[in-house]
């Protein structure tokens, strides 16, 4: 089984990215093959500053390694180090219906927000399809918001296969982790960079505490019994704790006599403990960027070998000569 996923280097990773995506990457590594990449070509649709993109690429690689991505058990690479992916994207574009891309909600949402779309944004899902199909991926772990992109990928692959008559491209399936499916941000909405409500994994402790203390809650008085089920502070607490700890805090919510400040302090402490080892490891990688680059290059080499094999199949199916 080949597991593959990508994450855009558009800013520092936050709790939503970790529980929605990165945690699954780590749980699934050690499979027969696990490919994880930093989607820097996708990031070009939003990051238009060379220095910034370069820095984001470093941060993404370092954060993933610090969080437990193990190069012995998974292949980590930069998307842009595998040129085969953009070549495959072109082949896929030629069989992708315009109307299919017009239906993509993430595209429609951006347009609705007033962004004037370029062709890169419009064809974003086709580059993503190429990312997945280039490596014969079986399983693609992603957050819930990416499911539609996986459906588009399957659709494009099927259209390619039926156009060229054969099982040339392998159809992948999405894998979504339920508990992590929607991590709330400080305003109670889905945590997302675009909403400015994120808590980044490696922010300073001071800044994390400040953000947690700013989380929106209802205005029930201290004495009142409170409902853990509808409270985003409790939802965050659940991410970092055992069922026993959760039951204990839920009991305190329901009993009344506890203010939200106390629950927030509990989230702060639990989150620090949860990421403590990763914080230490991060410092080690920051001090050894040479090693990080070596890991990325070795990863790209492995990914390209597989990508070239699939691209050769695709070129032959289309009637193109093998690459010289
Ligand atoms: P952002 O919304 O902050 O820009 P991305 O779109 O880059 O984050 O998301 C990267 C990955 O993290 C995706 O797989 C996405 O589904 C997942 N993800 C992002 N935010 C959340 C969240 N709040 N809850 C669960 N998963 C999330
Ligand atoms: N679009 C994904 C996101 O924003 C990132 C991504 C690019 C991806 N290519 C991929 C995810 C291939 C899974 C597989 O989160």
Assess whether pLDDT exceeds 90 at residue 310. Answer: yes
One domain for residues 159 and 21: yes
Report yes or no on 108 lying in a domain: yes
pLDDT at res. 323: 86
| 179: pLDDT strictly greater than 80 | no
229: containing domain: 203-274
Which residues are bridge partners to 76 per DSSP? 36
How far apart (Å, rounded) are the C-alpha atoms in residues 237 and 217?
14
Domain annotation covers residue 187: no
Give pLDDT tens digits for 189-229. Answer: 999 998 999 999 999 999 999 999 999 999 999 999 999 99
Pair 105, 218 in one domain = no
Q: Are residues 93 and 160 in the same domain?
A: yes
Residue 308 maps to a domain: yes
Instruction: Provide mean pLDDT across the span 143-170.
Output: 95
pTM, entire model: 0.95
Mark whether 71 and 167 lie in a shared domain.
yes
* pLDDT-based confidence at residue 129 (cuts at 50, 70, 90): very high
Taking only the tens place, the pLDDT of each residue in 24-70 is 899 999 877 999 999 999 999 999 999 999 999 999 999 999 999 99
What is the number of domains present in the chain? 2
In a domain, 236, yes or no: yes
61 and 119, same domain (yes or no): yes
Which pLDDT value is given to residue 8? 96
Distances (CA, A) of 252 to 161, 233, 248, 273: 57, 13, 7, 21
Q: Reply yes or no on whether the pLDDT at 177 is more than 70.
A: no
* 248 shares a domain with 216: yes
Residue 40, CA distances (Å) to 12, 36, 43 in order? 13, 12, 5
| Residue 195, in any domain of the structure | no
Which domain CATH number covers 219? 1.10.240.10
Same-domain check for residues 122 and 235 = no
Q: How much is the mean pLDDT over the chain?
A: 96
CA of residue 274 to ligand 1 center, whole Å? 19
Residue 33 pairs in a beta bridge with: 2
Tell me the per-residue pLDDT of 228-280, one tens digit each, with 9 for 90 and over.
Answer: 999 999 999 999 999 999 999 999 999 999 999 999 999 999 999 999 999 99
Q: Which of 192, 201, 232, 239 to mutate to test the pocket of ligand 1 (most atoms within 8 A of CB)?
A: 192
Ligand 2 pocket test, pick from 10, 17, 149 with the greatest ligand atom count within 8 Å of Cβ, gives 149
Is there a single domain that holds both residue 65 and residue 17? yes
Q: Is residue 165 part of a domain?
A: yes
């Amino acid at each position: 089984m080949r597991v593959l996923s990508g994450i855009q280097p558009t800013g520092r990773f936050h709790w939503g990215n970790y529980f929605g995506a990165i945690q699954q990457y780590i749980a699934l590594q050690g499979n027969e093959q696990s490919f994880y990449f930093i989607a820097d070509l996708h990031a070009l649709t939003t990051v238009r500053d060379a220095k910034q993109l370069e820095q984001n690429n470093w941060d993404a690689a370092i954060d993933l390694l610090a969080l437990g991505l193990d190069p012995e058990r998974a292949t980590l690479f930069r998307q842009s180090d595998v040129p085969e992916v953009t070549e495959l994207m072109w082949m896929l574009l030629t069989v992708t219906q315009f109307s299919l891309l017009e239906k993509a909600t993430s595209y429609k949402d951006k347009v609705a927000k007033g962004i004037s779309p370029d062709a890169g944004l419009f064809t974003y899902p086709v580059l993503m399809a190429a990312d997945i199909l280039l490596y014969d991926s079986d399983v693609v772990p992603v957050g819930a918001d990416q499911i539609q992109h996986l459906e588009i990928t399957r659709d494009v692959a099927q259209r390619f296969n039926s156009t060229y008559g054969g099982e040339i491209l392998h159809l992948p399936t999405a894998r979504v982790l339920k508990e992590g499916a929607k991590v709330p941000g400080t305003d109670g909405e889905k945590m997302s960079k675009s909403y400015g409500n994120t808590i980044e994994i490696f922010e300073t402790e001071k800044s994390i505490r400040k953000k947690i203390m700013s989380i929106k809650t209802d205005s029930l008085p201290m004495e009142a019994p409170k409902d853990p089920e509808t409270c985003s502070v409790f939802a965050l607490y659940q991410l970092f704790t055992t069922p026993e700890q959760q039951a204990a805090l839920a009991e305190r919510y329901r009993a009344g006599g506890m203010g939200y400040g106390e629950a927030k302090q509990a989230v702060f402490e639990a989150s620090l403990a949860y990421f403590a080892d990763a914080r230490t490891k991060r410092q080690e990688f920051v001090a050894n960027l040479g090693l990080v680059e070596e890991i990325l290059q070795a990863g790209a080499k492995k990914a390209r070998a597989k990508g070239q094999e699939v691209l050769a199949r695709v070129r032959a199916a289309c009637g193109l000569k093998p690459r010289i």
